Amino acid sequence: MRPLIILFLIFLNGCGIIHIEIRDKQKKPEATQEQRQKSIPRQEVKKEERPTILKVQSPVRGRATPTEKGYYISTSCDEFFRSVSDGRVLYAGNDIKNYGWVLMIERADGLVYVYGRADSLLVRRGEGIKKGQPLGKVGKSSDGCGLIFEVRDQEGRPVKFELVL
């Protein structure tokens, strides 16, 4: 009789007639005073504090011009661009319009470095990358030679950063 009642309750729950919630009967340990002090409510954060701007080493020598999502770095046509951080190649290809050959490298913390308008690439998808490793050759465009460089978060949104030459 008991299994029949349980099946009937599960059926009613599936239909949305009743709601069954299973809870853990064990009590959760209370936070210590030290843990309570560490957790600061969002309202107490001072508005005058500015977020720290990410500073990133330039992948190639040249003149950097800010763009909507990052920087366009003008340089000589025979330059090779290098990795600005350790990571893993997420994408290497030329399927994205107006970007030419594109390379996306993900860091361990989830930030993604995007190198665009390359002439050629020296790495493949899935490959591990070390900081300073040559990644490819700078590409040519109508304005001359250069590289698009952007930083993205895990969802693909552009991250504001400062380029250090």
Task: Provide the pLDDT for residue 41.
Answer: 54
Q: How far apart are CA 142 and CA 41, in angstroms?
A: 52
Which tens digit of pLDDT belongs to each residue from 77-134?
889 999 999 999 999 998 877 788 999 999 988 899 999 999 899 999 999 999 999 9
Task: Provide the pLDDT for residue 57.
Answer: 86
CA dist list (Å): 72 to 95, 123, 153: 19, 21, 19
> Rounded mean pLDDT of the chain?
81
Instruction: Mean pLDDT check: name the lowest of 45-54, 57-66, 91-100, 115-124.
Output: 45-54
Strand partners, 106: 88, 112
Confidence at 56, pLDDT banded by 50, 70, 90: confident
> The whole model's pTM is what?
0.66
Contact 114, 102 (CB under 8 A): yes
- 28 pLDDT higher than 80: no
Task: Provide the pLDDT for residue 45.
Answer: 47
Confidence at 161, pLDDT banded by 50, 70, 90: confident
The rounded percent of the chain whose pLDDT value lies above 70 is 73
Alpha carbon of residue 18 to chain centroid: 42
Task: Provide the pLDDT for residue 130.
Answer: 94
From 2.40.10.120, 2.70.70.10, 3.40.190.10, 2.40.50.180, which CATH number describes the 54-164 domain?
2.70.70.10
- 37 pLDDT higher than 80: no
Q: Domain locations in the chain?
A: 54-164
